[in-house]
Structure 1
């Protein structure tokens, strides 16, 4: 009975590290695929001329930085137990800055794109209301 409890407790101790690795890498890969896809779509010639596409393109680039810096350092630190922030002072200082900056920039740019679409729809709606059909 003692070996079973040791096996279970060692499994439970290893579980958070394995979850950080597996789920973190899954989120990292899907996030990068999404960011690259958004970058390709919003940098196309037809959408490049629209303001909301510029906002969403820069949001995708900000999210790309977020996924490749913050999430990757978390996977390395928490999953693989590599002490990056204790060995490299610049990463220790940039990580909190990037966390706040990327989140703020992404939220702001998404809000700007939403406001742009709402105002464009209202402008288009007001043009159609002025048409007099007799």
Structure 2
């Protein structure tokens, strides 16, 4: 089963390993969190993951249907909320500046919504979290 591993790299920087790739992140540069703005934050990567996933699905659809995707980009606007900390009001804009999508607009919307990250968000009903202590066993709550 694939996995991703994140570990503390000092200060408030974290290294995440995804396969052969290392991704660095920092926490927000606020007095509360103590980040220094050296790397994107975890929520930045979350939104970037959604944006790039939608872009890949749109690109594939355009290639299969002879739609000019030159210069295509996906932009996601969102707000950060507190108490509890979360992202809200996400809105996706798919830009196809060189395409005449015509009757394919609705299909492109459907394709965008079928990207793996979006489908995962929609289907999640919680997230099991296990805490492993020094024994290597799952700590009981």
Q: Which has the larger radius of gyration?
A: 1
Going by fraction, where is strand more abundant, 1 or 2?
Answer: 2
Give the TM-score, by structure 1 length.
Answer: 0.29
Higher relative contact order (CA 8 A, sep 6+): 1
